[in-house]
Amino acid sequence: MRILIVEDDKNLNRQLLEACSEAGYVVDVAFDGEEGHFLGDTEPYDAVILDIGLPEKDGITVLEEWRRDGRDMPVLMLTARDRWSDKVSGIDAGADDYVTKPFHVEEVLARLRALIRRAAGLSTSVIACGPIMLDTRTSKISCDGRHIKLTSHEFRLMSYLMHHQDKVISRTELTEHLYDQDFDKDSNTVEVFIGRVRKKLGVNCIETVRGLGYRLFASEADSAE
């Protein structure tokens, strides 16, 4: 999963970056509204953490412009203000949730997980696909009750597929959501990771849809390698 953090406080930006990276997300950062708006308008994100009080362009304006342009990624707003009117303005502008500063990073991560789940049409923190289980709280994956040890990139790939199971996901889409903006999107590493994950899972659940991409499905039957 790939997220964007738009926060002008450098220390808080760094803390959120470290926490989100440790939680398994690919993270891009911006320090003002102009930069944040540009990234959110041109890059695909699974969620955005957006501060209201930004230089150059405030968070409410950034969010309104994203929504007006059809950008529908979940947005978690951060605000140092505790006035109810500011919270209402954020929600009306298109925010999906908000956190008031100061906050515990664990709360931000929990709200982020919930937003990403809901965007994928999922209601619980434990996602199942046949014998495969993903616990989004602990970032652990198991298969038939057996813990599967994955590298960070392998986990990101499986997490994205688990959140979008039964859908055909192109290699380009996977690349855009697994790596930051500077990654070489012509790389064949997605195919390498798919092969490794298949071996580690030991079940026939990732189908190659030739010419289109990959699909994670619950049944072990009728998979095309």
Instruction: Count CA atoms within 13 Å of residue 126 on its CB side.
Output: 6
Alpha carbon distances (Å) from 2 to 21, 148, 161, 180: 10, 22, 13, 8
Rounded distance between C-alpha atoms, residue 220 and residue 201, angstroms? 12
Between β-strands 2-6 and 26-30, what pairing exists: parallel, antiparallel or unpaired?
parallel
Rounded distance between C-alpha atoms, residue 72 and residue 69, angstroms? 9
Residue 88's pLDDT is 87
Rounded distance between C-alpha atoms, residue 132 and residue 114, angstroms? 20
Rounded distance between C-alpha atoms, residue 170 and residue 168, angstroms? 7
Q: Does domain 126-216 have CATH number 3.40.50.300?
A: no
The alpha carbon dihedral of 136, 142, 147, 152 has a sign of negative
Residue 225's pLDDT is 41
Residue 198's pLDDT is 93
Which residue positions in the chain have pLDDT lower than 70?
Answer: 181-187, 219-225
User: How do the domains of the chain map onto residue ranges?
Assistant: 2-119, 126-216
Helix (H) or strand (E) holding 199: helix 189-201
Contact 97, 47 (CB under 8 A): no
Q: Which CATH number fits domain 2-119: 1.10.1040.10, 3.40.50.2300, 3.40.50.280, 3.30.1490.440?
A: 3.40.50.2300
